[in-house]
Amino acid sequence: MTPNAHLEPVVAGALDLTVQQLFPERFDRTGNRVCRTRAPQRSTQNPTGNA
Q: Does residue 33 sit in helix, strand or coil?
A: strand
The domain segmentation of the chain, as residue ranges, is 1-38
The per-residue pLDDT for 30 is: 92
User: Residue 15 has what pLDDT?
Assistant: 97
Output the pLDDT for position 33.
Answer: 87
Residue 49 DSSP one-character state: T
Q: What pLDDT does residue 4 have? A: 81
Per DSSP (E only), the strands in 1-51 are none
Q: What is the pTM of this model?
A: 0.61
pLDDT in tens, 1-51: 577 888 999 999 999 999 999 999 989 999 898 876 665 566 666 666 665
The pLDDT of residue 5 is 81
